[in-house]
Amino acid sequence: MNVLLLAVPLAGCLAVLGMRRSAVLVGMLVTGITFAISVAIAFAVDYARPGMQLVTDLPWIPPLGLRFHLGVDGVSVPLVVLTALLCFLSMVYVARKDGEPERAHSFVSLLLLTEVGMLGTFVALDLLLFFVFFEVVLIPMYALIAGWGGAGRGPAARQFILYTLLGSGVLLVGLLVIYGHTSTLNMVELAAGDGAGMSRAVQVIAFVLVAGGLAVKVPMWPLHTWLPDAHSEAPTVGSVLLAGVLLKMGTYGLIRIAVPVLPEGALAVAPFLGAFGVIGIVYAALACLAQRNLKRLIAFSSVGHMGFVLLGISTLTPAGMNAALFANIAHGLITGLLFFLVGGMAERFGSTDMDKIGGGTLAVAPRLSVLLIIAAVASFGLPGLAGFWGEMLAMLAAFDPAPGLNRSLYLVFMVVAGIGAVLTAAYFLVMLRKVAQGTPSRQGILDVGRAEWAAWMPLVVLVFVVGLWPGLVLGPTAEAVGFYLGGL
């Protein structure tokens, strides 16, 4: 079933390249089928049983001992479903009237290739295969930004590819260090081995390399500088996938590879991850308070939200890992919705600059403004919405980190993260005051259309459902995290 999950969008990618008509409709059909397969996988997995399921293990490059090894568990399934959902909704959004981009066949083909890479990253169980899928994403995303982005798309795309390729090079060296000392690329065997075959010094070096390479994709402060420009210049669906899925590939790699495979390295480096995470939370909040462009504001907010994910991971506890995985899903839903909404505002007002949009959108486009309000309050962690649980659980995990970590230091992290959460609420409320409230500067603005409802409402519903029923995400992840880290 995992092979089918990858084969369908790959076949669609190749088929669409030869089309000049109906490319968007075919893309919507392909992403819809892929989403259906992801849901079938989610229902097929027994989350009470530890270990990988729906495993495919085939020879890939026999002379080198490389295998096409795929599988899923409670850690990867929510991310697989999130990825397939956002790709499908992106195609629904593109398929609306007057929404079809120029050179639609190329656009859709690149989007489908991006989906293959993202899904492959979450189901790969071989280190080299993980790296290949991790890299597959970069070129089509670069092309989407460079080919269909805004006025500054060229520099933004080049910055994106240079930063991420540099991070990938560091990651590859780290993976080779692991292979050189263990003689295996099997991620399941490596996790079960608990660092066997590697001294503490080797584990620390490998962890710094692997985590450093993944941190660029997270992005972790201070390696985040490519993100605001990439987001502000990317087309709407590019921003949705960039924030909703690509950033999760980095934190997923930390949870799937770095922490279980290199436990002694994780224990040594975790406080630095936590420190960079909480610095990013406060830095991003202050940067957001200074922003006038909605896309850049949401991009910087992603740095802060991923800081909570890093804080949860750095505690090295089941509670912290579950917090990180939950925050990943919540951020994907909420920020994906925010970028959809900002894309809609850009089409209506011709800009994402808050000063040019002016105030009073609640009066001229009430439905659009209400959706923006829901997404904003969810993003700053209002209880009952999806954003609350990940941040709260991350701070709770920092209150009681794993043995061997400095609890006093993590209490400082918890307090700083709490201050960052307050600042997060402040900048979103400032944004809503500038955009939604006040006297409208324009009239005759079209409100949310049917196609937009179709693309956006599933995310709105899930923001409420996941916020009111956190077990929908925590249920699948808890057993898998407990298996990796020795129980809850």
Give 414-430 pLDDT, tens digit per residue.
999 999 989 988 888 88
- Who has greater pLDDT, 123 or 101? 123
Exposure on the CB side of residue 13, measured as CA atoms within 13 A: 16
- Who has greater pLDDT, 65 or 479? 479
pLDDT above 70 for 485 = no
pLDDT above 70 for 444 = no
- Mean residue pLDDT across the chain: 87
At residue 356, the pLDDT reads 80
What HEC string does 287-347 produce?
HHHCCCEHHHHHHHHHHHHHHHHHHHHHCCCHHHHHHHHHHHHHHHHHHHHHHHHHHHHHH
Claim: this prediction has a pTM higher than 0.95? no
| Secondary structure (DSSP) of 42-88 | HHH--TTS-S-EEEEEEEEEGGGTEEEEEEE-TTTHHHHHHHHHHHH
Structure tokens at 481: 């995290």
pLDDT above 80 for 438 = no
At residue 487, the pLDDT reads 37
- Who has greater pLDDT, 174 or 198? 174
pLDDT above 90 for 113 = yes
> What is the C-alpha end-to-end distance of the chain, expressed in Å?
30
